[in-house]
């Protein structure tokens, strides 16, 4: 750190990112990654839990969705949000260790897919593409 200089403030983001995965390690890793970037997250263990949180909370700017989960799978969750005009336009990325969603992405109504194990830099690229920072109050002093 340089004495006499105030570090630039970290941007805060207007909308959270929703993470839906039944694997607690994946949820924790993605939540930590978002937190390190100043981005709020909404976490859910399965599609049904996610729908409940969507109905009662903030609307995310992006959803990272596991494909295979108990209770309500990724495809079942996608079908449910696409039937609701409030959520139908939220970009969704499938996170999966199996399958190749290249050709089927648009047909399935998803924005893209991320293979597990994923690279944090790839996740951050996607998140930055879909999040907008809130205006920062004040400027950093030089």
pLDDT digits (tens, 9 = 90+) for 87-122: 998 999 988 887 655 555 555 678 888 888 888 898
* pLDDT: which is higher, 57 or 3: 57
The mean per-residue pLDDT over the stretch 111-135 comes to 81
3-state secondary structure of 13: strand
Does position 24 have pLDDT exceeding 90, yes or no?
Answer: yes
Closest to 58 in 3D by CA, of 125, 13, 11: 13
141: which residues sit within 8 A by CB, 6+ positions away? Answer: 5, 6
Contact 41, 19 (CB under 8 A): yes
* Residue ranges of domains in the chain, CATH in brackets: 22-130 (3.40.50.2300)
Give the pLDDT of residue 138: 38
Q: At what angle do helices 74-82 and 47-56 cross, to 10 degrees?
A: 30
pLDDT at 70: 86
Question: What is the average pLDDT across 6-13?
Answer: 49
Q: Quick check: 67 and 75 in contact, CB under 8 A?
A: yes
What pLDDT is attached to residue 3?
52
> Residue 25 has what pLDDT?
93
Tell me which residue of 12, 66, 11, 61 sits closest to 44, measured CA to CA.
66
Query: Can you give the pLDDT at residue 139?
Result: 37
Q: What is the pLDDT of residues 25-61, one digit of tens each?
A: 999 999 999 998 888 999 999 999 999 999 987 889 9
Q: What is the pLDDT of residue 71?
A: 87
pLDDT of residue 75: 84
CB hemisphere CA count around 129 (13 angstroms): 13
Q: How far apart are CA 68 and CA 136, in angstroms?
A: 39
CA distance 62 to 50: 13
- More confident site: 128 or 138: 128
Q: Quick one: DSSP state of residue 84?
A: -
Tell me how far the alpha carbon of residue 25 is from its chain's centroid.
15
Predicted TM-score (pTM) of the model is 0.79
């Amino acid at each position: 750190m340089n004495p006499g200089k105030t570090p630039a403030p970290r941007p805060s983001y207007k909308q959270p990112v929703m993470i839906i995965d039944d694997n607690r390690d994946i949820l924790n890793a993605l939540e930590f990654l978002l937190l390190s970037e100043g981005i709020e997250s909404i976490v859910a263990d399965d599609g049904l839990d996610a729908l409940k949180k969507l109905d009662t909370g903030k609307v995310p700017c992006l959803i990272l969705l596991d494909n295979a989960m108990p209770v309500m799978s990724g495809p079942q969750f996608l079908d449910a949000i696409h039937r609701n005009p409030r959520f139908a336009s939220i970009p969704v990325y499938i996170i999966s260790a199996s399958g190749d969603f290249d050709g089927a992405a648009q047909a399935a109504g998803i924005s893209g897919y991320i293979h597990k194990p994923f690279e944090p830099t790839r996740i951050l690229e996607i998140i930055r593409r879909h999040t907008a920072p809130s205006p920062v109050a004040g400027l950093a002093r030089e």
